[in-house]
Amino acid sequence: MNARAFSFELQATDGRARAATLHTPHGEVPTPVYMPVGTQATVKAVSPRDLSDMGAAIVLANAYHLYLRPGDELIARLGGLHRFMGWEGPILTDSGGYQVFSLAQRRRVDPDGVTFRSHIDGSEHRFTPEKVIAIQEKLGADFITCLDECAPPLDREYNVKALRRTHSWAERCLAAKSRADQALFGILQGGIFTDLREQSARFLTDLGFDGYAIGGLSVGETKEQTYTVLDALQAQLPADRPRYLMGVGTPADLVECVARGVDMFDCVLPTRLARNGGALTRAGRLNLRNARFSDDAGPLEEGCSCYACSRFSRAYIRHLVAANEILGHQLLTMHNLHLMLTVARELRAAIVEGQFDSYRRGFAAAAEPA
């Protein structure tokens, strides 16, 4: 990694599971790590103070969305993304490659880049690898990502074409990067096809990125297919660089993907689920809209030390959800994020102590029906 600003210090391994520390200009990030998603420069329903109190070390924002609103140039004029959103720790920005997939009806892809029609006002915007790097350099995140094409995971013919574009764009992103205080992640693609994934890993590692993100998973394939891809990539990625699995993140995902050598995770599920009345627990999900919780005096999860579980009952939180009170969204979000961050810390401790397999078995047992 960039010796002047970043380093990746691998501290322990247990099987394929890794514990490390990312050193950045805005502080250290112990791994494995879950990164709360702040697409619009805010993690929905919680403040930066809340995140800090929960122990979040790094958050994610989205360059595509921030370019559209309020604008990367405005954020730069106001001191950059850290100052703009009041977050003092490290930040990672996603390039907008996922929007190539999620906004398929509003974009055109060609060998040079992507043309989007804004979901806000219908205006047309052109994204090239060079422009994506320029946007992220203006935003000023610690970790930035290449423009890539996230393709439908089961379509081999399309993935072959998309991979060619992704690799070409990666070369151009690397050439365009000019800030020494940012680390650039290359993004592996190739759908569920292990030969394409291995080809992508070889190509990108030969270019020498600061870290490697694994994109295009959890977008329609099965869990078993996800794990097969990760198993195939384990030997292909350099041990001295961080590995970031994009958009994957339930508590069980963290455990199983750390077992396959992944260091960094992000996912909107914990906050999105909370806004729809859902709570994550080690045993599965709870739907607080369900009437069976209306007189339940217990916490969302026994043994949880988050603010919601420490102070409030399931019955109260169900009342808030049923009444569409904002506090209900806040409490569920705080609980869900707290669980994700706690599991990541527990995973790290288990790896350092050489107890990862025991932790993994215990976690799986807790999730099994009694």
Query: Torsions phi, psi of 361, nearest 5?
Result: -65, -40
**Catalytic site residue 266?**
yes
Rounded distance, CA 103 to CA 100, Å?
6
Strand order in the sheet with 7-14: 7-14, 17-24, 27-31
Helix/strand/coil (H, E, C) string of 250-310? CHHHHHHHHCCCCCEEECCHHHHHHHCCEEEECCEEEECCCHHHCCCCCCCCCCCCCHHHH
Catalytic residue among 14, 94, 253, 263: 94
Tell me the CA end-to-end span of the chain in Å, nearest whole number.
47
**Catalytic site residue 110?**
no
- Tell me the CB-side half-sphere exposure of residue 93, using CA atoms within 13 A: 31
Rounded distance, CA 30 to CA 263, Å?
9
Query: Torsions phi, psi of 27, nearest 5?
Result: 120, 175
**Helices marked H in the chain — which ranges?**
48-54, 63-68, 72-77, 81-85, 97-102, 129-139, 156-176, 194-207, 223-233, 251-258, 269-275, 307-311, 314-322, 326-352, 356-367
Which residue numbers are catalytic? Answer: 94, 266
